[in-house]
Amino acid sequence: MRHIIHADLDAFYAAVEQLDNPQLVGKPVLVGGRPENRGVVATASYEARVFGVHSAMPMKTAVYRCPKGIIVSPRFNRYKEKSGEVMNLFRELTGLVEPLSMDEAYLDITAAVEAGQRPLAVALDLKARVFAVTGLVVSVGVGTCKTVAKIGSDLDKPDGLVVVQPGDEAEFLAPLAVNKLWGIGPKTAERLNKDGIETIGELADQPLAWFAKMFGKRATNVRDKAMGLDDDAVHIHSATKSISSESTFANDLGGEEELRDVVERKAVGVAHQLEKANLKGRTVKLKLRLADFTTFARQVTLPYHTDAEEPIKEAAWALLEAELEPGRTFRLIGVGVANFEDESEDELPTEEKERQLSLFTDGSLPVEVTD
Ligand code: DCP
Ligand code: MG
């Protein structure tokens, strides 16, 4: 039996801002772009969330809902630094750490539990260490599978701690809404709700034949998850879902020629890294951050796998060219390649794949994603 922790920092960007600027402690903090520039909320402190502010909301709406909110521009390098500190602490506890983004990871703590430690004690110790060393608060879920651990970490936020005992998985999941299951996005949830299936328990009760009809290849996987029995291991290497290179500029760039140069440099860097890692990918991704911090990604899938500069550069440039508008300038440009040769394309549900692809090397999630 496995014992898995899912750990996710509370209001990550906002918490780092409060840590670095004590004047912000206890205040509603809105991290993101300025409202007058059509900025978006990256995250909000819990003090702001009581006003109904959340990630990806237009800053204008956020300020309307929370007029006392203090707007802070994101400082991605600082978040990356703090993320590194936290991940290092995770790795002191176990070598089996799978980061999912800058502020969350799965930890396999089976060895510690088998050596006699109680899962609750391991989790409490981890929370205390993260706070003592980094000053950040982490919410933790503990269970015998990833599904239960991940849902658990989110249930009791902020400063959450949920431990689900072996044998209690199905009972724990049963009353929760189906959209809490990894891989069940809004569209699938809507379809299930139409069929009268609102909770994970109601989903788990369906016969296997129904799952096969509804989810095809994913049937047993979704069913196992709904029952809290999924057997997914913590993968240390899953971070290499994509290889990318990005730069933030001191002055926002807008000229076609300078943009072309950047794309070329990024493409060369990525091709080089791919070659070193012995990987070839089919999907070329472009990440853009505008002057107002709006961040989004565009991608194109090539007819073949590659690690060569030229096709990556051409694809990335075509994506960027489509985004050029008079007066539009770019604060950050990233070029990435994903969808590697040896990956089984059917392994992950599409929604999950898109989520993972949206993670660039800095682990940041796009503030806004459109296709
Ligand atoms: N983020 C972003 N845009 C989004 C969602 C998140 O830029 N649409 C960034 C800001 C968050 C960080 O990623 O601080 C981590 O995302 P989480 O979903 O874990 O959100 P938080 O850590 O801010 O809050 P919590 O986990 O307490 O809900
Ligand atoms: Mg978080």
Residue 235, in any domain of the structure: no
The whole-number pLDDT of residue 354 equals 40
Write out the catalytic residue numbers: 104
Q: How many domains does the chain have?
A: 3
**What span, in angstroms and rounded, lies between the C-alpha atoms of 50 and 255?**
42
The answer to the question of residue 217 being in a domain is: yes
What is the domain-level CATH number for residue 248? 3.30.1490.100
Q: Is residue 201 situated within a structural domain?
A: yes
Looking at the structure, tell me whether residues 221 and 361 fall in a common domain: no
pLDDT tens digits, one per residue of 43-91: 999 999 999 999 999 999 999 999 999 999 999 999 999 999 999 999 9
Residue 269 lies in a domain: yes
Same domain, 158 and 301: no
Q: Which of 226, 253, 272 is the last residue of a domain?
A: 226
Name residues with Cβ closer than 5 Å to ligand 2, which is an ion.
Answer: 8-9, 12, 103
Strands (E), the chain: 4-9, 29-32, 41-44, 70-72, 97-101, 104-108, 138-143, 161-163, 242-253, 281-290, 295-306, 330-340
Q: What percent of the chain has pLDDT over 70?
A: 91
Determine the average pLDDT of the residues in 271-291. 90
Tens of pLDDT, residue by residue over 164-220, are 999 999 999 999 999 999 889 888 999 999 999 999 999 999 999 999 999 998 999
Give me ligand 2 centre to Cα 158, in Å: 9
Instruction: Tell me the CA–centroid distance for residue 1 and ligand 1, in Å.
Output: 31
Band of the pLDDT at 236, cuts 50, 70, 90?
confident
Tell whether 210 and 147 lie within a shared domain: no
- State the pLDDT confidence band at 340, using cuts at 50, 70 and 90: confident
Q: 257 and 358: one domain?
A: yes
Same domain, residue pair 177 and 157: no
Average pLDDT over residues 218-232: 94
Mutate to test the pocket of ligand 1, among 362, 365, 368 (most ligand atoms within 8 A of CB): 365
Side chain identity, residue 251 = N
Residue 236 covered by a domain: no
Cβ(235)–Cβ(178) below 8 Å: no
Residues 194 and 131 both lie in one domain? no
The preferred substitution site among 18, 103, 161, 182 for testing ligand 1, maximizing ligand atoms within 8 Å of CB, is: 103
Whether the full predicted model's pTM is greater than 0.95, yes or no, is: no
For ligand 1, the distance from its centroid to the CA atom of residue 9, given in whole angstroms, is 9
Ligand 1 atom with the shortest distance to the CA of 368: 8
12 pocket-lining for ligand 1 (C-beta < 6 Å): yes
Structure-block tokens of residue 302: 């090539």
Distance (Å, whole) CA 155 – CA 176: 10
The label of the residue with tokens 């050029």 reads 324
Q: Tell which of 131, 146, 163 closes a domain.
A: 163
Dist CA 96 CA 240 (whole Å): 15
Spell out the residues 6+ positions from residue 21 whose beta carbon is closer than 8 angstroms to its own.
none
SS3 call for 221: helix
Identify whether 58 is part of a domain: yes
Tens-digit pLDDT profile for residues 27-36: 999 999 999 9
Question: How many whole angstroms separate alpha carbon 176 and alpha carbon 306?
Answer: 43
Looking at the structure, do residues 148 and 218 belong to the same domain, yes or no? no
Q: DSSP class of residue 267?
A: H
On whether both 357 and 271 belong to a single domain, the answer is yes
* Domain at 175, CATH number: 1.10.150.20
Nearest-CA residue for ligand 1 atom 27 is: 10
Domain of 67, in residue numbers: 1-163
Strands (E), 86-190: 97-101, 104-108, 138-143, 161-163
Position 367 confidence tier, pLDDT thresholds 50, 70, 90: very low
Same domain, 150 and 7: yes
User: Is residue 186 in some structural domain?
Assistant: yes
Of 57, 48, 18, which is closest to residue 30 (Cα–Cα)? Answer: 48
290 confidence band (pLDDT: 50, 70, 90): very high
Across 144-241, where does the E strand assignment appear? Answer: 161-163
Is the pLDDT assigned to residue 337 strictly greater than 50?
Answer: yes
Residue 327 vs residue 354, higher pLDDT? 327
Residues 133 and 273 occupy one common structural domain: no
Indicate whether 147 and 179 sit together in one domain: no
Considering the domain architecture, whether residues 94 and 117 belong to the same structural domain is answered as yes
Residue 370 pLDDT more than 70? no
Is 98 a pocket residue for ligand 1 (Cβ < 6 Å)? no
**Domain end point (choices 163, 187, 215):** 163
Q: Which ligand is nearest to the CA of 358?
A: 1
Q: Residue 103 C-alpha to ligand 1 middle, in angstroms?
A: 8
Pocket test for ligand 1, best of 6, 8, 10, 12 (most atoms within 8 A of CB): 12
For residues 290-318, give the mean pLDDT: 93
Say yes or no to pLDDT of 363 above 60: no
Q: Give the nearest ligand 1 atom to 56 CA.
A: 8
Question: Do the Cβ atoms of 145 and 231 come closer than 8 Å?
Answer: yes
End-to-end alpha-carbon separation of the chain, Å? Answer: 40
pLDDT interval class at 4 (50, 70, 90): very high
- Ligand 1 and 19: CB distance under 6 A: no
CATH number of the domain to which 4 belongs = 3.30.70.270
Cα gap 194→208, rounded to integer Å:
19
